[in-house]
Amino acid sequence: MRLTKKVFNDLGIFMMGFGLAIGVVFPLFITLLGVPKEYTLTRTFFIACISAGLIAGFVNYFIARKVVGKRLQNLSNVGLQMRTLAETMRDAGSEQANQDFDFEKTFTGDLSGKLGCHINIDSDDEFGESAKAFNFLAETLSRTITAERAARSFTTMLATDLDLAPLAEKAIQKLILYTNSSSGLLAVIDQGKLKIAANDGLLEPEEILQSFQVAHVIRTNKKQIITTPDTTEAVTIDHRAGKTPAEYVLVYPIVYKNISLGVIVLASENEYDQEILGRLDLLSMGLGLALNNSLTHGHMRELATLDPLTEIYNRGFGVQRLHEEYIRSVRNHSPLGLIIFDIDDFKAINDTYGHLSGDKVLINIVNSAKKVLREGDILVRYGGEEFLAVLPGASLADVGIVGDRIRRAISDLAIKAGEDIMKVTISLGGVSHPELNASNEETLVHQADVSLYRAKNSGKDKIELHVC
């Protein structure tokens, strides 16, 4: 039965009412026990008994308020904090919420953050059981919120990078932190091959990727924890204090829409429990999306910058790179060499052997030129059968040496066309800045082109250098 909307108000009314009733009944009760009426049925005694009953009721109310109310107040306070947590969960997608989120605090044991949603258990009764149940509920909700917020913020962080290298570096560092690992690597599938995108602390990562466990995870898209000593000894963690074999190795697939994009390999001296695995399940969804976007971006960029047949820079991007190298050459007062070469009688090759054989010639010439060029040199398909080689740091003498090596490498080619063998030659024109003292890169290209046609007109299969 409820008299008011507050439990303690009802309790106070009932206790005071009960005390009043006791005060009224008590004189009659002790009269029945034989106490003379002249002592019990007097106004003074009635007032004394009623007062005593009311005082007893008030004291009982005060004790209940103090003992029970304190625990209920704690429950109420934590309930308000739980409400704040729920509102936080509702607003978890906001940008500000993600910015304010503390990753490291989340995954280092303080699952309730600054809110401290916890009730101290100081009794072994219904209140204690209620407190235990409430704490379990609060911790579960807190874990859910922190995991969701971490996943959102992790995805937001990865979305800031479309380039694979910085994205992979950020991802593996955070994954090592979130899973309490000691080291790890992230590898992606590129053109059918598994390639390392980022490595933090694992020695001989290439050998790790060649293991049958990694191949099994890629094939099945199912994670695998390796604890066999014979297997984990092959995975070595590079600590600041030294190098130690891993006790536990977690191989985890990166999947997007049921398509395998790569693999995560994490190593630790501690066992991976279900909480960490569940956390990784949640984080990997955002990683799969970000990695798919990065790989798509990289593929589209390659399509925009590479010649589809020869897989070297196309003219548009090649000219841009030449401009960058020219600016760097002027700023650093360093030489910049340029070679333009053209296949001799390429039209006759196409007419005689067909365009497929002509394409084969182009590919072979590019491969031969790549072997001659240094790391840092830039090879560009400038036109149909015309190519441009940018040589940072090359003087005119260097240009002559490199150009002649390219010429001889290509003249040594023997390219099959059915049962026939095709022999090809090239003519080259070379220049170098600042010996040419060109005011811009267009002047370099023009003078190299002039030298090329001088080589064509003087017998082909040779290199001509522009000498001021």
Number of domains in the chain: 4
Owning domain of residue 366? 315-465
- Please tell me which residue, 136 or 447, carries the higher pLDDT value: 447
Of 242 and 423, more confident:
423
Judge if 153 and 168 occupy the same domain.
no
pLDDT at residue 35, as a whole number: 87
In the structure encoding, which two tokens stand for residue 135, read together? 């704490």
Same domain flag for 324 and 459: yes
Is 310 within the bounds of a domain? no
Q: What is the CATH number of the domain that holds 187?
A: 3.30.450.40
pLDDT at residue 394 greater than cutoff 60: yes
Residue 105 maps to a domain: yes
**Segment 405-453, tens digit of pLDDT:** 999 999 999 999 888 999 999 999 999 999 888 889 999 999 999 999 9
Residue 117 lies in a domain: no
Question: Do 136 and 257 reside in the same domain of the chain?
Answer: no
Phi, psi of 379 (to 5 degrees): -110, 130
pLDDT digits (tens, 9 = 90+) for 291-342: 888 887 777 777 778 898 999 999 999 999 999 999 999 999 999 999 999 9
Task: Specify whether 346 is located in the same domain as 372.
Answer: yes
Q: Is residue 307 part of a domain?
A: no
Instruction: Please tell me whether residues 271 and 176 are part of one structural domain.
Output: yes
Q: Are residues 190 and 284 in the same domain?
A: yes
At 48, the pLDDT band (50, 70, 90 cuts) reads very high
Q: What is the 3-state secondary structure (H, E, C) of 110-135?
A: CCCHHHCCCCCCCCCCHHHHHHHHHH
CB-based contact 238:217 (threshold 8 Å): no
Are residues 334 and 201 both part of a single domain? Answer: no
Model confidence at 102, pLDDT cuts 50, 70, 90, reads low
Q: Is 280 found in the same domain as 364?
A: no
Examine residue 292 and state whether it is found in any structural domain, yes or no.
yes
Q: 164-177: per-residue pLDDT in tens?
A: 888 889 889 988 98
Q: Give the other-Cβ count within 10 Å of 64's Cβ.
A: 14
Enter the pTM of the model: 0.55
Are both 221 and 336 inside the same structural domain? no
137 and 206 belong to one structural domain: no
User: Looking at residues 265-283, what average pLDDT do you find?
Assistant: 87
Instruction: Please check whether residues 355 and 280 belong to one and the same domain.
Output: no
403/332 same-domain check: yes
* CATH number of the CATH domain containing 372: 3.30.70.270
The amino acid that residue 259 corresponds to is I
* Average pLDDT value over all residues in the chain: 83
Residue 35 placed within a domain: yes
